[in-house]
Structure 1
Amino acid sequence: MEAVAKTKYVRISPRKMRQVLQLVKGKTVEDALDILYFTNKRAAEPIAKTIKSAFANLGNKEEGKRIDMRDVLIKNAYVNGGPTLKRLRPMSMGRAGRIRKRTSHLTIVVEHSS
């Protein structure tokens, strides 16, 4: 059985999120959370929260069963780009430069392997 968790509109660029996500793809939930705890990147926190949410969703699907974090694998994890906030910043010679503040949509699928 598998469960999905999504986090939308995270204020980190998708490229930076993908760097951290590559560390935990295919790992068990317990190993992934351990890796993310010691990863010194800002993207580690929302990824860890989403993994915990997916694990909790799996527990809700399989009612009455105790699930161990070591038995649950991260089956699929990906990041898509969300809407970009566009801002202007004063530049030299009276011009205005565009600042793009990117957002991300994170999706994590976990699977009980038994």
Structure 2
Amino acid sequence: MANNTETGAVEVRAVAKFVRVAPRKARLVVDQIRNKSCDKALEILQFSEVAAAEPVAKCLRSAMANAENNNGLRRDTLYVKAAYVDEGPTLKRFRPRAKGSASRINKRTSHITVVVAPGKEA
């Protein structure tokens, strides 16, 4: 939780770490929900066919629950103030190839962060 002392606004965040989704693919989903009301963002994620939408929605619901239970904020006034995806550690795997060689397969992970704040009723 971060309190912005200048404006008095409360920001509440949730972080999902080591999610087995490539960051590049998760960023496509996160870009769609930034600066939207939380209810609208959940609706967008629910009908998104991208696999990364599920862990992003889970992180958003967690941030909303944190705001509601820990800070006493009303759910219907929350909006997604910030949402970003950082790169986590890459799992390196090998696949056998022709003539006894091997090629590396990178299984990338993500750290998904969602920040919600009251205001901007939409």
Following superposition, which runs of at least 4 residues in structure 1 exceed 2 angstroms of deviation?
60-63
- 2:90 alignment partner in structure 1: 84
Is 2:45 aligned against 1:45? no
Query: Secondary structure of 2:30's partner?
Result: helix
Within 2, Cα distance between the matches of 1:6 and 1:43?
Answer: 15
In the TM superposition, what is the alpha-carbon distance from 1:92 to its structure 2 partner?
Answer: 1.3
In the TM superposition, what is the alpha-carbon distance from 1:60 to its structure 2 partner?
Answer: 2.2
Aligned residue type for 1:3: V
Give deviations 1:22-42, integer Å, cap 9, x for gaps: 110110000000001100011
TM-score (normalizing by structure 2): 0.86
Within 1, Cα distance between the matches of 2:33 and 2:84?
Answer: 11
User: In structure 2, which of residues 15, 21, 24 is the aligned counterpart of residue 6 of structure 1?
Assistant: 15
Within 1, Cα distance between the matches of 2:55 and 2:28?
Answer: 13
Query: Identity rate of aligned residues, in percent?
Result: 46
Q: Superposition pairs for residues 21-60 of structure 1, below 5 Å?
A: 21-60=30-69
Aligned residue type for 2:104: R
Give deviations 1:61-84, integer Å, cap 9, x for gaps: 333x5x133x11101110011011
Within 2, Cα distance between the matches of 1:86 and 1:103?
Answer: 11
Query: Secondary structure of 1:76's partner?
Result: strand
Contact 2:36/2:79, CA 8 A, preserved across alignment: yes
Is 2:105 aligned against 1:96? no
Query: Secondary structure of 2:50's partner?
Result: coil
Which runs of no fewer than 5 residues in structure 1 stay unpaired?
none
TM-score (normalizing by structure 1): 0.92
Within 2, Cα distance between the matches of 1:102 and 1:85?
Answer: 6
- 2:26 alignment partner in structure 1: 17
Query: Secondary structure of 2:62's partner?
Result: helix
RCO (CA 8 Å, sep 6+): is it higher in 1 or 2? 1
